[in-house]
Each structure stands twice: as structure tokens, then as C-alpha cells.
Amino acid sequence: MKLLFVLLVSCAWTLIGAQNYYQALMDYLENRLLAIEDRMQMWHDHAHQYHTEMLDFKKLTSEAMAGLKNDHSMIFKDLEGASARVNLMERELEYVETQNSPRACVNMADKVIEQEAWGLQERDAVEVEDDWEELQSRVSDCVEIISGFRSVKILKRIGSHKGMWTRDPKSSKVYIFNGTSGDTVHEFKSVRDFSRSLGVMGSRTIHLPFEWTSPGSAVYDGYLYYIKQKTDTDVQVVKYDLRSGSVTDTAMFPMERHASLYTLNPETVADLAVDDEGLWLLFTPTDSEPNISVAKMDTATLDIEQIWDTRCPRDNAEAAFVVCGTVYVVYNTRLASRSRVQCVYDVNDMMVSEEAPLLYFPRRYGAHASLKYNPEEKQVYGWDDGYQIIYRLTMKRKLLA
Ligand SMILES: *[C@@H]1O[C@H](CO)[C@@H](O)[C@H](O)[C@H]1NC(C)=O
Ligand SMILES: *[C@@H]1O[C@H](CO)[C@@H](O)[C@H](O)[C@H]1NC(C)=O
């Protein structure tokens, strides 16, 4: 009996134990589930938070992007404004350059005239006029100097890098010299014909009996004057009748071998120029002579009437031309930059030194191979890196005039 009781009690204990055990397991599982639920809730909360944070971030970045875009367009506008201002300033600078130009070359003769001018101004105006009448009849009636550039016209680009073109002041005909030497010249009826032509099509091709050397020719009243260099020592000026097609005269010049007039255009042995007073020859007697000489020539006989040393250096000279008996020498640098008239020489000694301008040429493509003045139109025909350009000039009277 006692044994049965013990068995029953132990059995009951076992049952109770099992029940306890299951209860504990259930509790445990329930707790785990709650914990998982909690964690899921937490994850959910976190995900939600991330999502809102993402949205906020997106909003922020899009705002920042819009701001940046705005800034960019503002900077762009600022830049545009700045570049416009730079352009304006450049133009103003150019203007100032042409207006208040320091003189590069002041010659002794000019200084004397300058003093005379001050002396004259203090005297009676009528007396000055009387003095002037006398002086004018003694020298010439051409009393203008260049004061600036009125306009630039780029006609077209034909031919090679170097060359020259010019217009006969006494007719409308235009002459093209392609390259730095040759035996042909192209003649157009007018500047308009030339600008409308395709290359040299439609022009009259003139075959010369002797080759021209140097882009230094001149055309005046139906005659072509050009430089001929048979050997290194024999330099001649040839006068050629463009109407009859024959050589009417030649004149010899004693010039040293390999001498070239402008150091930036070594192909130019000598340069012929036409102005209101006639025909001029710009040359250098020897290659060791540092300055440019100018000779006044008789157009009929090719005789030299007078020679002057301009005291304008050949070094860094690009071209030169003569206006009203005044030689204007144009300088540049070896790496072509802005061409400028930096030395002026008046053969009549009529220019007051203050008047001699430092003139900057308007923007260009490369370097001038030649510059030819036309006294009738008061403009310069330039050959710039193969481009044919017309510079229209503004003139003023010399102070003594
Ligand atoms: C000019 O000369 C160059 C070479 O010297 C040649 O190639 C060119 O065709 C010439 N142009 C004209 C228009 O004659
Ligand atoms: C060349 O001209 C300068 C002035 O520009 C002058 O000082 C110099 O003496 C001249 N040289 C000769 C050889 O004439």
C-alpha cells in the first residue's frame, strides 16, 4: 500500500512537472514572439524613419541643385557682362592709344619747328597767315597728317600668305601681286569687281617682260613702277606702260647684296610709294645702314630728285607708306601682334613733334606683307596673311598749316 502511494505521488509529481514544463515552454515562446514583434515594430519604425529621411534628403538635394543652377546662370551672366566690359575697355584703350599717342621718334628738325610754332602762336594771327602763305608756296600745298583709322574693310582672302594689292589713284583699276616675286600681275576693273570675283577669275593677266621682286610696286596714272633685281647687286626700278604693255624706262640703284628694307619682311628689297606729291622710293643703301632712306623720284624720267635719311629704324619694321611727303613706318614684333606707326618723318619738316602720332592698327589676322596708300581715297590697301584689307584714314591739317 505504502508502495502504491509512493508511486501515485511520484506519478502526480511527474504530471505536475510535465505541466510545469509545458507552461514554461509556452511562456518562453510567447516571450520570444513578443520580442520578435517588438523588433519588427522597431524595424518598421526605422524603415519609416529612413524613408522620411530619404525624402528630406531628396528635397534638400533638389533644392541645392536648383540653387546651383541659379548660381551657374548668374555666374554665366556675370562672365558675359565682364567680357562685354573687357571689350569696351579694349576699344576705349585703342581710342586712347590713337588720341594721346606718345611719339616714338622725334627728329631734330621737328624740334626746331616746334619752337617756331610756339613763337608763331604768340604773334599776331594775321602775321602768321602771311608767314604761312610764303612758306606754303615754298614747299607744297599738301598739309595733312593721319589722325586715326576711320574704318577697316576686309575684302577677301586670295593668293598666298604674302603679296600686295593697290589701286591706281587716277583710275578705279585694282592690281594684285600674288607672292613676293613673279612675272604676272592681275588687273581688275574696280574694287567691287575684285571683291565679287572668284580668285583671280575675270581679271586681266598682265605678263611682264622682267620679273618683279618685292611686294613694293606702285601704280600711278596707267603706269606700273616696280622693283627688278636681276642679280644680288643690281636693283632697278622699271616703269611699265599698262596700256601699251611696254617698258618705258628703267633706272638703276646701287644697293648692297642681300639688303632688305624691313627686317620683318626680308623679301622687300625696296618699296615704291605714291602720295599727293608723286613717287617715292623707300630703300636702304647697305644692309649695315640701320635706318630707312627715302628718295623723291621723277615719275617721267625716274630721276632721283632728293634723298633723306628718315632716321626711322629698319629693325622690326613691317611696311611703310608716304602721305603728304611724310613717311609713316609701321612696326610689329616677330610673333605678330598689333601693328603700329611708331616712326614718322616729314621731308618738308613741317610737322610739329607733338603731332606725330603713335597709331595702332585695328585687329588683324597675322602680319602685313605690304601697305599701299591711295592719296585720292585717303585709304591704305593692306595685304595681311593673304587677306586683302582696306584701312580708311582720318586726316587732320598740320599745325603749321
Ligand atoms: C598665289 O601663289 C600661290 C603660290 O605662290 C599659288 O598657290 C596660288 O594659287 C596663287 N593664287 C592666285 C590667286 O594666283
Ligand atoms: C639712325 O637713326 C637714329 C635715330 O632714330 C639716330 O640716332 C642714328 O644716328 C641713325 N643712324 C645713322 C647711321 O644714321
* CA distance linking residue 60 with residue 334, whole number of Å: 57
CB 368 within 8 A of CB 318: yes
Q: When comparing pLDDT for 49 and 135, which is higher?
A: 49
Asked whether residue 323 is assigned to any structural domain, the reply reads yes
Per-residue confidence band for 393, with pLDDT thresholds at 50, 70 and 90:
very high
Residue 100 pLDDT greater than 70, yes or no: no
pLDDT tens per residue across span 351-362: 776 777 788 998
Q: Establish whether residue 185 lines the binding site of ligand 1, counting it when its CB lies within 6 angstroms of any ligand atom.
A: no
For residues 338 and 87, give the distance between their C-alpha atoms in angstroms, rounded to a whole number: 16
Could you tell me if residue 7 is inside a domain? no
> Which ligand does the CA of 315 lie closest to?
2
**Residue 210 pLDDT:** 94
Same-domain status, 60 and 111: no
Cα–Cα distances (Å) from 86 to 78, 90, 95, 159, 340, in that order, read 12, 6, 14, 35, 21
Does the CB atom of residue 395 touch ligand 1 within 6 A? no
Mean pLDDT along residues 241-247? 96
Rounded CA separation 201/329 (Å): 34
Pocket test for ligand 2, best of 107, 108, 311, 343 (most atoms within 8 A of CB): 311
Number of domains in the chain: 2
Residue 226: its pLDDT value, please?
97
Q: Is 115 in the pocket of ligand 1 (CB under 6 A)?
A: no
Q: Is 169 domain-assigned?
A: yes
Residues 218, 256, single domain; the answer is yes
* CATH classification at residue 114: 2.120.10
Give domain status of residue 266, yes or no. yes
The pLDDT score that the predictor gives to residue 322 is: 96
Nearest CA to ligand 2 atom 7: 311
Q: Are residues 89 and 121 in the same domain?
A: no
Q: Whose CA is nearest to atom 14 of ligand 1?
A: 159
Q: Which of 100, 120, 136 represents a domain boundary (last residue)?
A: 100
Mark whether 58 and 114 lie in a shared domain.
no
pLDDT confidence of residue 14 = 66
Ligand 2 center to 30 CA (angstroms) = 115
Handedness of CA 206, 207, 208, 210 (dihedral sign): positive
Q: Whose CA is nearest to atom 5 of ligand 2?
A: 311
| pLDDT on residue 301 | 94
225, 350: one domain: yes
User: Residue 362 burial by CB count (10 A; 0-12/13-18/19+): exposed, middle or buried?
Assistant: middle
**74 shares a domain with 62:** yes
State the closest ligand 1 atom to the C-alpha of 186, by its place in the atom list counted from 1.
Answer: 14
pLDDT (0 to 100) of residue 9: 57
* pLDDT band per the 50, 70, 90 thresholds, residue 12: low
pLDDT of residue 135: 36
Residue nearest to atom 8 of ligand 1 (CA): 159
312 plus 348 within the same structural domain = yes
- Across 64-92, average pLDDT: 73
Do 167 and 187 form a contact (C-beta atoms < 8 A)?
Answer: no
152 and 72 within one domain: no
Query: Does 324 lie in the same domain as 195?
Result: yes
- Sorting pLDDT into bands at 50, 70 and 90, what band is 69? confident
Looking at the structure, tell me whether residues 202 and 74 fall in a common domain: no
Banded model confidence at residue 87, pLDDT cuts 50, 70, 90 = low
Give residue 203's pLDDT: 94
Domain that holds residue 344: 102-397
Please tell me if the CB atom of residue 158 comes closer than 6 angstroms to any atom of ligand 1. yes
**pLDDT surpasses 80 at 119:** no
The answer on 172 and 69 residing in a single domain is: no
Q: What mean pLDDT do residues 137-157 have?
A: 80
**Per-residue model confidence (pLDDT) at position 53:** 86
**Distance between Cα 375 and ligand 2 center (Å):** 29
Q: Which residues line ligand 2 (CB under 6 A)?
A: 105, 290-291, 309, 311
Answer yes or no: is 15 within a domain: no
- Whether 26 is covered by a domain: the verdict is no
- Quote the CA–CA distance of 83 and 330 in Å, as a whole number: 30
Element (H, E) at 99: helix 2-99
Identify which has the larger pLDDT, 82 or 29: 29
13 pLDDT exceeds 80?
Answer: no
Span 306-319, mean pLDDT?
A: 95
Q: Whose CA is nearest to atom 10 of ligand 1?
A: 159
Residue 104 has pLDDT above 90, yes or no: no
**Considering every ligand atom, which ligand is closest to the CA of 103?**
2
* Ligand 1, pocket-test mutation among 162, 174, 176, 178, most atoms within 8 A of CB: 178
Per the CB < 8 A criterion, the answer to whether 139 and 324 are in contact is no
Least confident of 15-19, 161-165, 182-186, 247-251: 15-19
Residues 181 and 288 in one domain: yes
If you average pLDDT over every residue of the chain, what do you get? 81
- What is the per-residue pLDDT for 137? 36
Domain boundary among 66, 100, 134: 100
Q: What is the 178 CA–ligand 1 centroid distance (Å)? A: 6
**Residue 354 maps to a domain:** yes
Tell me which of 79, 100, 121 is where a domain ends. 100
376-396: average pLDDT: 94
Amino acid at 356: A
- Report pLDDT for 370: 97
Please report whether residue 240 resides in a domain.
yes
Please report the pLDDT score of residue 5 as a whole number. Answer: 56
**Pairwise CA distance, residues 35 & 365, whole Å:** 84
For residue 351, report the distance from its CA to the centre of ligand 2, in Å.
19
* pLDDT interval class at 116 (50, 70, 90): very low
**pTM score, whole prediction:** 0.68
Average of pLDDT values for 242-268?
Answer: 89
Q: What is the per-residue pLDDT for 75?
A: 76
Of residues 81 and 2, more confidence is placed in: 81
- For position 70, what pLDDT does the model report? 83
For residues 163-173, average pLDDT: 96
